[in-house]
């Protein structure tokens, strides 16, 4: 029950990675989502490039933003 990560402990989206996320990858799949919709993946420093490339190859990647900046933006 208490294994749920706290909201402040966001973890990298890469498979098997348990590191704290420091980047937000905002993406959109034009076949599934309206153009202004943003899905997000979280990444640690190590996986930012890997996950960006994965989304970039599919032309889904829209933005890579530091987590702190993303939160500041979405709090206002």
Interacting residues toward Zn ion by CB under 5 A: 12, 14, 17, 19, 44, 47
| CB-nearer residue toward Zn ion: 18 or 34 | 18
What's the closest the beta carbon of residue 23 comes to Zn ion, in angstroms?
Answer: 9
| CB-nearer residue toward Zn ion: 16 or 35 | 16
Is 46:16 a contact under the CB 8 Å cutoff?
Answer: no
What's the closest the beta carbon of residue 20 comes to Zn ion, in angstroms?
Answer: 9
* Cα–Cα distance, 63 to 75 (Å, whole number): 18
* Cα–Cα distance, 54 to 47 (Å, whole number): 11
């Amino acid at each position: 029950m208490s294994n749920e990560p706290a909201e402040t402990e966001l973890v990298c989206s890469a498979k098997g990675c348990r590191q704290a996320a420091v980047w937000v990858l905002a993406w959109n799949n034009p076949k599934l989502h309206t153009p202004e919709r943003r899905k997000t993946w979280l990444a640690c420093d190590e996986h930012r490039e890997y996950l960006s490339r994965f989304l970039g190859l599919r032309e889904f990647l829209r933005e890579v933003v530091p987590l702190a900046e993303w939160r500041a933006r979405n709090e206002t």
